[in-house]
Amino acid sequence: QVVCHDFQHVVSGQLDAVTESGCELLTREKSSGPLFGQQSRVFLNLLNSKTGKSVNIEASMEEVRKESVGWIYQLRWDQCPQI
């Protein structure tokens, strides 16, 4: 589970396609437009449900696309978080 925000907007979702350089954030957000634009800086709060520990990381929005279930945000981070 992850919460993504930019101090103006917030959305929750699931991470997918996690790599050393980034991931996809899958949301169920049904808004007519994305909450975050390309190249915007966002902050992620990642929760490990098994341990209850969370970590905060900064990332940049690389790509945004609309799917039938919601918005998909392609994120890039400087360092893969360790949870």
pLDDT range class, residue 80, cuts 50, 70, 90: confident
CA atoms within 13 A on the CB side of 76: 8
Q: Mean of the per-residue pLDDT values for the chain?
A: 92
pTM: 0.88
Position 19 pLDDT exceeds 90: yes
The C-alpha atoms of residue 10 and residue 17 are separated, in whole angstroms, by 21
